Amino acid sequence: MQQTLSIIKPDAVKKGVIGKILDRFESNGLRIAAMKKIQLSTEDAKAFYAVHKDRPFYGELVEFMTSGPVVVSILEGENAVAKNRELMGATNPKEAAPGTIRADFADSIDANAVHGSDSLENATIEIAFFFSNREIL
């Protein structure tokens, strides 16, 4: 059993597809162990994406992630980290496999609908960034 962190990004929240995206997780064996809708501050977004701070798109990424509310959740299940990445599809929706969340709901490499932890180690760090133990059920 693994846990991974998912973020439904501002573009998908604005489109009104929170429920459709959560259904992808629940229909594919990922249980929602924690969830909240929040507005990230610039400081939050900078800290969360600090691994990308030297990349040319860092400023745009921070701006985009703070452009509206997001839905943060912990997904739990067998191979949850890889399973979630598989359901999400490639970073660039134009390259995402048909039937993936990004192929179906994302518009561009910036506005790409969802975030998912890319390793078990990062999942632990990202979960602790957003949730306290009493919020995980």
Binding site for ligand ATP (CB under 6 A): 52, 57, 61, 91, 109-110, 112, 115-116, 118
Of the pair 3, 112, the CB lying nearest ligand ATP is at 112
Smallest gap, in angstroms, from Cβ of residue 134 to ligand ATP? 26
Q: Is the dihedral of CA 38, 43, 45, 49 positive or negative?
A: negative
**Is residue 104 within 8 Å of 45, Cβ to Cβ?**
no
**Residues 91-130 close enough to bind Mg ion by CB under 5 A:** 118
Among candidate residues 12, 115, 116, 131, the one labeled active-site is 115
40 phi-psi bin (left φ>0, alpha ψ -120 to 50, beta other): beta
Using the minimum distance from each CB to ligand ATP, give the nearer residue, 120 or 137. Answer: 120
Give the one entry of Mg ion, ligand ATP, none that residue 129 binds, where binding means its C-beta sits below a cut-off of 5 to 8 angstroms depending on kind: none
For 104, the token pair is 């179906």
Q: With CA atoms as reference, report the closest residue to 118 among 66, 68, 49, 54.
A: 49
52 is catalytic: no
Annotated catalytic residues are 115
Residues annotated as binding site for ATP? 9, 57, 85, 91, 102, 112
